Amino acid sequence: MQTVLLRNLILSLVALASVPVGAATPQVERHVVVYGEEGKFAGWPANHGMWMWGKEILVGFSIGIHKDLGEERHNIDREQPEHHVLARSLDGGLTWAMEYPAEKGMLINAGGMRHGTTDPRHTEPDPIPLTEPINFTHPDFCMTLRFQNVHGGHSRLFYSYDRGHNWKGPFQMPLFGQTGVMARSDYIVNGPRDCHVFLTGSKSNGKEGRVFCGRTTDGGLHWRFLSYVDPEPNGFAIMPSTVRLSPSELVMTTRRRAGLGEQRRRWIDTWASHDDGRSWELLGDAVDDVGEGNPPAMIQLRDGRLCLTYGVRKEPFEMQAKFSGDGGKTWSDPFVLKTGGGGRDIGYPRTLQRADGKVLTLYYFTPRDSPYRRIIATIWDPGSV
């Protein structure tokens, strides 16, 4: 009897071993044009944020006037305002409606005055100190962190309690002891008044380029510096994307640049904290080469894997994804989300997972049939372990 049981057990193990890992492979379901308009430049969702409440999804990005500045530059007219806009979907990303805060007066400052928002160099009001603590766990909460410029100075914070229909701000973020803070929306809510933020500060030479971690425990009235993620780089480390694996474990990916000419390198690296952001260790590189550089967007899937999405700014100009089943120590081969871009100006993604398990990745893209940058949403199945 024991021999028969042992034999059946061995046969079962052999059968299980014959099933390939990842048998349910990732598949792209569809691409949706969120925004694309003749004569306009649309870009950089990573600089703004994306939030989800069931099937309702809100994303921010920038719109400006198209100006041909050549293949090596963003084709946006810097003499004209860069409008910060929103797109909202009520069906999980299949259809989108545009919202223009500057036109609708969707922002309310601390004094109750309504105002619009656009490029801070033109019409956005100066940020003011936050005097009322934020409830980070409000069911309809969202928050965006934005930088004034990449040459130093304060960043600013906006938040909403009604899914982004109305925003409070801009509020001034502290400098955390830095000469400048270049914030994008990378934060982790820990409790009603408790939130980690992951930001980019100025290096000792005043240029953008070093990632650090900060925290508030009183709803944003006061913030404290926790740690630098890495030693000051020769090039830069910017635009972190961070997830929490446990009460004490955090994993972060950052956009990296170093070297010039033949020594030039652009990549995405991976860091881990085992003490809730007070110190960090380098795990390795998630992506060895992203062409001319692109920021990561990382989430944890419900099956436990980390999912990393990013743009590759070299031929054939692709949006890609990778997976890690060991907390960022190793990464899979890339899965292509969209290929065949018309140029290097692509990427800056935001990614989330819907309730049905499908993943939504939103980014800007240069098509081959038009010079005007578009915002694209790719809906895809991440497969299974």
Secondary structure of the chain in HEC code, one letter for each residue: CHHHHHHHHHHHHHHHHCCCCCCCCCEEEEEEEEECCCCEEEECHHHCEEEEECCEEEEEEEEEEECCCCCCCCCECCCCCCEEEEEEECCCCCCCEEECHHHHCCEECCCCCEECCCCCCCCCCCCECCCCCCCCCCCCCEEEEEECCCCCECEEEEEECCCCCCEEEEEECCCCCCCEEECCCCEEEEECCEEEEEEEEECCCCCEEEEEEEEECCCCCCCEEEEECCCCCCCEEEEEEEEECCCCCEEEEEEEEECCHHHCEEEEEEEEECCCCCCCEEEEEEECCCECCCCCEEEECCCCCEEEEEEEECCCCEEEEEEECCCCCCCCCCEEEECCCCCCCCEEEEEEECCCCCEEEEEEECCCCCCCCEEEEEEEECCCC
Instruction: Judge whether 208 lies within some domain.
Output: yes
Residue labelled with tokens 């290097």: 344
Contact between 162 and 133 under an 8 Å Cβ cutoff? The reply is: no
Q: So what's the pLDDT on residue 102?
A: 64
Instruction: Judge whether 308 lies within some domain.
Output: yes
Residue 78, burial from CB neighbour count under 10 angstroms (0-12, 13-18, 19+): middle
Q: So what's the pLDDT on residue 80?
A: 87
N residues, the chain: 385
Instruction: Judge whether 18 lies within some domain.
Output: no
Q: So what's the pLDDT on residue 35?
A: 98
Instruction: Judge whether 255 lies within some domain.
Output: yes
Indicate if the alpha-carbon torsion angle 231, 232, 234, 237 is positive or negative: positive
What is the Cα–Cα distance from 372 to 257, expressed in whole angstroms? Answer: 27
Instruction: Judge whether 7 lies within some domain.
Output: no
Residue labelled with tokens 């919202």: 99
How many domains are contained in the chain?
A: 1
Residue labelled with tokens 């020594």: 263
Q: What angle do CA 338, 344, 346 make, to 5 degrees?
A: 50
Nearest Cα to Cα of residue 163 among 143, 141, 145, 144: 141
pLDDT in tens, the chain (385 residues): 444 334 443 333 333 333 333 448 999 999 999 999 999 999 999 999 999 999 999 999 999 999 988 877 889 998 888 889 999 999 999 999 999 886 665 555 555 544 444 555 556 778 999 999 999 999 999 999 998 776 678 899 999 999 999 999 999 999 999 999 999 999 999 999 999 999 999 999 989 999 999 999 999 999 999 999 999 999 999 999 999 999 999 999 999 999 987 789 999 999 999 999 999 999 999 999 999 999 999 999 999 999 999 999 999 999 999 999 999 999 999 999 999 999 999 999 999 999 999 999 999 999 999 999 999 999 999 998 7
Range of the domain at 289: 30-381
Instruction: Judge whether 22 lies within some domain.
Output: no
Instruction: Judge whether 3 lies within some domain.
Output: no
Q: So what's the pLDDT on residue 14?
A: 34
Q: So what's the pLDDT on residue 120?
A: 53
- Domain CATH number, residue 54: 2.120.10.10
